[in-house]
Amino acid sequence: MGGEWRNRTLAELSSFLNRGTAPAYINEGGVLVLNQKCVRDQRVIYELGRRTDPERRPIAADRMLRPFDVLVNSTGVGTLGRVAQVRKIEEPATVDSHLTIVRPNPEAVDPLYLGMAIRFCEHEIEWLGEGSTGQTELSRERLSKFTVPVPESRDEQRAISHILGTLDDKIELNRRMNQTLEEMARAIFKSWFVDFDPVRAKAAVRREHPDWSNAQVSRAACPTLKPEIAELFPEEFENSELGEIPKGWRVGRLPESIDFLEGPGLRSVQYRNEGMRFLNIRCISEGDLDIEKANCISFEEFEMKYSHFALREDDIVISTSGTLGRLAIVRDDHLPLMLNTSIIRMRGRGAVGLSYVWGFLQSGYFLSEMLAYAAGSVQLNFGPIHLRQILFLRPTDDMLLGFEWIVQPLLRKSLHIRKESRTLAALRDTLLPKLISGELRLPAAVRDRATQAGVKDAEQFLKRRGEL
């Protein structure tokens, strides 16, 4: 550490270090309570929180979350040791008894820096757990004695936290942009191909104006759509195996419109650190592929036995075992890559493009069919034999092409952002251990810019909120 870095205990660096309390769960109202599921991939996922009734189970003031609190999962194999730092609190929130709050003491350390340092030590914290399999616990005493490297210079701390925090902020911004883009794409799919909103609107206008042309009806019924798109929708419905559908559209079996392939079982192969990567279920997470979790086989064995399982750009992969229905679109930066068992690859046929397949696989209809057909005593499984039974709504080719023209740019933008975030995350994960350990030292000029030009000074932030 060159004499300027010291290993300091979390007890020295924190003003509060303790578990949360057992909640009194309610469905609505009360206070948001975070649990182990809310701490994943080094970020806080508020959407997975539940609600607790503070009247039935009072919450101590020091257990209400504050900006820069560090949350540490403290129970369970596979979850113990996960770390995330609270950066923004949109509503009053607390944690349950499976999470430990480590509240930085701004007199002792830059709060953002401490969050980065604990993240740097996440894997070491995981090994602090004690107890039998399935009952592993991380005690307050052991965590409080855990040490992290801290530079003596507060400017150094701030500069490191600013550089890494800026990358985190951009990744989070990208995540929110992706969420918006994909919600827009799903909303259009649902409106057009599930609720049939444009068709219903045109049918209503036609009833009032039977002598109008298609162009006139389209303009009146669908003013937000381009005329050439609005005119593609029919004005009537007809009966089908799926119930009432737009006239001229047809219902067939899924294999007629989507080419699919299940991955092979690779139990007998020898796994390697390098070679052809193949997917496993853990690789599909939050709509993307984490190929760092993929295993490898030799390229020679791949060429000899498994070359037809190679994936290509714009393939959609979906999990068919365990947590059913998780999917992701394959990008060029994921390749080369191949399928494995419990994952099915999907490709549209003909005019059925990427956007329509993507929307269909996330539709309530498909997910309900998947669950209805799935079987298994230990965990649910779903396979090609079931896909062959599923009905598929096939609009006209012109309608499908019009949908792709509208929606595919949204998905392309989302894929570009995901790719950028992967690059940023790789840079952050490379810098994190080098900066926190002192292996990489910031030049004075960089340190000065980071501490003066627009830095979110944690101490000032806390002072403004009256917490110092």
- Which CATH number is 1-150 given? 3.90.220.20
Find out whether 431 and 163 touch, Cβ atoms under 8 Å: yes
User: Has residue 447 got a pLDDT over 70?
Assistant: no
Kindly give, in sequence order, each residue whose CB lies less than 8 Å from that of residue 33, ignoring residues fewer than 6 positions away: 20, 23, 25, 49, 50, 51, 52, 93, 94, 95, 96
pLDDT digit string, tens, across residues 8-43: 999 999 999 999 999 999 999 999 999 999 998 888
Pairing mode of beta strands 39-40, 43-44: antiparallel
pLDDT digit string, tens, across residues 426-444: 999 888 988 998 888 776 6
**The tokens 């191949």 sit on which residue?**
338
Find out whether 77 and 138 touch, Cβ atoms under 8 Å: no
% of the chain residues with pLDDT over 70 = 93
Pairing mode of beta strands 50-52, 31-34: antiparallel
Find out whether 260 and 311 touch, Cβ atoms under 8 Å: no
In whole angstroms, what is the distance from residue 68 CA to residue 88 CA?
A: 8
Can you name the CATH fold of 254-394? Adenine-n6-DNA-methyltransferase TaqI; Chain A, domain 2 (3.90.220)
Cis geometry, peptide bond prior to residue 409 (ω within 30 degrees of 0): no
Helix (H) or strand (E) holding 51: strand 50-52
Query: Helices (DSSP H) in 103-250: which residue ranges?
Result: 111-120, 122-126, 140-145, 154-193, 197-208, 214-221, 227-230
The mean of the pLDDT values for the chain is: 89
SS (H, E, C) 140-170: HHHHHHCEEEEECCHHHHHHHHHHHHHHHHH
Kindly give, in sequence order, each residue whose CB lies less than 8 Å from that of residue 429, ignoring residues fewer than 6 positions away: none
In whole angstroms, what is the distance from residue 451 CA to residue 79 CA?
A: 35
pLDDT digit string, tens, across residues 352-402: 999 999 999 999 999 999 999 988 767 788 889 999 999 999 999 999 999
User: Has residue 458 got a pLDDT over 70?
Assistant: no
User: Has residue 142 got a pLDDT over 80?
Assistant: yes
Tokens representing 198 are 């444009």
User: Has residue 269 got a pLDDT over 80?
Assistant: no
Domain ranges of the chain: 1-150, 153-249+400-468, 254-394
Residue (of 136, 56, 42, 37) closest to 96 by Cα position: 37
In this prediction, residue 133 carries a pLDDT of 59
The answer to whether 1-150 and 254-394 have equal CATH topology is: yes
Q: Tell me the pTM.
A: 0.85
